[in-house]
Structure 1
Amino acid sequence: MLVPEPGKISPPYAATFLLRSGRGRASLLLMAVVAGVAAWAWWVRTLPRPAPAFASRSAVARAADSRFRGVSWVAADSAASTDFSALVRNHVTWIAQTPFGWQTGTAEPSVQLHTERRPGRYGYWGESDYGLSQTAQQARQLGIRTLLKPHLWIRGNGAWPGAVEMQSAAGWQAWFASYTAFIVHYAQLAESEHLEALCIGTELEKTVGHEAEWRALIGRVRQVYHGPLTYAANWSGEFEQIRFWDALDFIGIQAYFPVSSKASPTKAELLAGWQPHLRAIERVQRRFGKPVVFTEAGYKNTPDAAVEPWKWPDRTAAVPATDEATQAACYAALFETFWPRPWFKGLFVWKWYPGLAADGPARRHADFTPQHKPAEQVMASWYGR
């Protein structure tokens, strides 16, 4: 019998050769079994992980429904399973993870991608591909899913990504080519790591008028990622300008709407302040027939939290006076306004610091996190429904 030279057997010839010998038939059967086991293992990996043994039946039901009970996860230099225990306790079923792309200026048509990051260089371990994957895997073990939500960071003057605007048609063409490569990288990561949702852009207000380019980008992403897609539009009119919501799975809004003009408002005043914004959101929702998710929503722990919710406390000044009652009232008014609406599919609270202690840094406790405050109890109460 002619024995083929090792390492030079084509697949069809190999199959024929193996079938012609008893040992070969056994080897081929073993190969088929191994391939079957591998396929079964991949299929099992794509299934939702079971909730931990300590989760109640109602927690299992919450994890399985279509609501996003989320928080925006702050990346760090590591992640431990203990970092997620507070999320489980607060009925959180989703986290948003945020890697960054970098531009040197708002008119620069090149988005730089850094996937291997070291602390103190381009970002945290938790923003690297490996860190994103490991964090998602640990969260999934506790029934918590991941929205991958890449952002752009403008170097130098720290400009808002909504100011990104090219100065020529050629500039726009180059920017969309570069940005598409950036997003497709994360789409491939989301697909390979079985991340449960992907946001294709955040607050890129001056780009969304280029409808054809965005539709082409969405088509390219759908070629490599097969989960649900959204875009995170700013509250200040951007979500009303977008004409490609029909190509996405849900309408994403960065929900920093001003709902009061004074410090320390009552909940009744906050509820009234939400009404014009609610009507605007409903108009867009009816037009496209898509569910709405607040891809970010949150309030500072300050008396003026509802006046300009998008503003960070001044980090160069003294730590501002805190107002936990106002922060909690803002959360209560938000949930009472939107959670009962059937078209509203949840939100991601901005933001959540893994391992933050009750006696942690005062400046951090004055910013947007609800941790260790009455606002956390409000969030947990609504997420538990």
Structure 2
Amino acid sequence: MKYLLSSVALVFISSFFWFFSFDSNLPVWKEKYNGVCWVGSRNPLQGGEFQELTANGINAISQTPFGWQSEINNPEIRWLVENDRQWWGESGRGISATLDSSQKFNIHNMLKPHLWARGSWPGEIEMTNEADWKIWFENYENFIIDYARLAEKEGIPMLCIGTELEKTSQREAEWRKIIQAVKKVYSGQLTYAANFTEYQKVNFWDELDFIGIQAYFPLSDKKTPNLKDLKRSWENHIQEIEKLVRKTGKPVLFTEIGYCNTVDAAKEPWVWPNERKEIALSEEIQAMCYQSFFETAYQKDWLAGVYFWKWYPEGKRRDPDFTPQGLQAEKVMQQYFLVD
């Protein structure tokens, strides 16, 4: 009996140390970036926009200028850091002014340039031959370097080098070349915003400071899900994320996460509002999706921050939409952001 007890104790102690040595690769991030994806406004800011953010406990924003691709198989990319046809908030001068105004409220900035693919989305961008791939990567490198230089000039502390470019990110050598080029002109922190279907297949996380995930994970197929359903789904997604966190030792940023104020928000969170016009509105489901995130993934020490898509400087503008502004979801966000 004494031998049996000693054996059990030994197994317990061994398991104890195995558990903590196994989890020792999980990074601990002390102060989260409680962020929103800032919508560049058509006109200059009027004042008061950042007081509203701080009242909600928001301490970080991402700013998003655009490059344009006419077709997903066309290697041409068009962009101008300064362009009279741009909305003010997406121009270099607007980005700079927004940075200056937000920093007065101790709001952290990430510059997160996107490609706008006509009639599609960035995850479908794919060339049909090697010659076009070469041209596309040359163009993309020039595009992101221009914004890296802007970020360095303005002192923007974080740069996202790409967003949801799922069919390009498997070309590891080309992306490593881009990262090295960015590091020659930009001294801040770097991430890449991988789609939730992509992040496990990216092989250049070692070159970056954060694993970036566009966290539009499906949460429930039920017509009327409950909080328990949504949290159970999150726990499954968390297990998969933690496998990569252990492997890389890198903290995670949810570079985007969001839910429309519709009854189907939990099923396919990524679906654009224009495709939900016939769907019934529901503040309750949107708020429940927020709560399920805050009660699960948000509690993880490896999560360095989260950016909710999206936040209008001038307030909520349409239904359905992703923004939590003026809805129950804003109160949920405020509850957790102000406590953190």
Q: TM-score range by the shorter chain?
A: 0.7 to 0.9
Gaps of 5+ in 2: 1-28
Q: Which residue of structure 2 lines up, in the alignment, with residue 351 of structure 1?
A: 310
How far apart, in 1, do the equivalents of 2:302 and 2:255 lie? 15
Q: Which runs of 4+ in 1 moved over 6 A?
A: none
Q: Which residue of structure 1 lines up, in the alignment, with residue 327 of structure 2?
A: 373
- Tell me by how many angstroms 1:209 deviates: 1.0
Q: Is the 8 A contact 2:38 2:61 kept in 1?
A: yes
Gaps of 5+ in 1: 1-63
Q: Is the 8 A contact 1:162 1:204 kept in 2?
A: yes
CA RMSD for the aligned pairs?
1.6
In structure 2, the residue corresponding to 1:80 is in which secondary structure?
coil
In structure 2, the residue corresponding to 1:302 is in which secondary structure?
coil
1:307 maps to 2:267: yes
How far apart, in 1, do the equivalents of 2:222 and 2:153 lie? 48
- Tell me by how many angstroms 1:117 deviates: 2.9
Change (3 A) 1:230 1:71: same
The percent of aligned pairs where both chains have the same amino acid is: 47
Q: Is the 8 A contact 1:117 1:127 kept in 2?
A: no
| CA deviations over 1:123-146 (Å, ceiling 9, x no partner) | 311111111111111111111121
Match of 1:174, as an amino acid?
A: I
Q: Which residue of structure 1 lines up, in the alignment, with residue 186 of structure 2?
A: 225
- Tell me by how many angstroms 1:106 deviates: 0.9
Q: Which residue of structure 2 lines up, in the alignment, with residue 189 of structure 1?
A: 150
How far apart, in 1, do the equivalents of 2:40 and 2:274 lie? 22
How far apart, in 2, do the equivalents of 1:192 and 1:116 lie? 14
1:340 maps to 2:294: no
1:266 maps to 2:220: no
1:142 maps to 2:105: yes
Q: Is the 8 A contact 1:199 1:231 kept in 2?
A: yes
How far apart, in 2, do the equivalents of 1:184 and 1:66 lie? 29
How far apart, in 1, do the equivalents of 2:54 and 2:300 lie? 24
Match of 2:88, as an amino acid?
A: W
1:206 maps to 2:206: no
Greater radius of gyration (CA): 1
| CA deviations over 1:197-226 (Å, ceiling 9, x no partner) | 000000000001110111111011011111
Q: Which residue of structure 1 lines up, in the alignment, with residue 20 of structure 2?
A: none
Q: Is the 8 A contact 2:261 2:283 kept in 1?
A: yes
TM-score by length of 2: 0.88
Q: Is the 8 A contact 1:259 1:270 kept in 2?
A: yes
Q: Is the 8 A contact 2:81 2:146 kept in 1?
A: no
- Tell me by how many angstroms 1:315 deviates: 5.7
Give the number of the structure with larger relative contact order, counting CA–CA contacts within 8 Å between residues 6 or more apart.
Answer: 2
Q: Which residue of structure 2 lines up, in the alignment, with residue 46 of structure 1?
A: none
TM-score by length of 1: 0.78
- Tell me by how many angstroms 1:316 deviates: 8.6
Change (3 A) 1:304 1:134: same
Alignment match of 1:331 (pick from 281, 290, 297): 290
- Tell me by how many angstroms 1:116 deviates: 2.3
Match of 1:134, as an amino acid?
A: A
How far apart, in 1, do the equivalents of 2:223 and 2:323 lie? 19
Match of 1:287, as an amino acid?
A: K
Q: Which residue of structure 1 lines up, in the alignment, with residue 130 of structure 2?
A: 169
Q: Which residue of structure 2 lines up, in the alignment, with residue 17 of structure 1?
A: none
How far apart, in 1, do the equivalents of 2:32 and 2:132 lie? 39
Q: Is the 8 A contact 1:263 1:305 kept in 2?
A: no
How far apart, in 1, do the equivalents of 2:257 and 2:173 lie? 29
Match of 1:326, as an amino acid?
A: I
How far apart, in 1, do the equivalents of 2:171 and 2:103 lie? 36
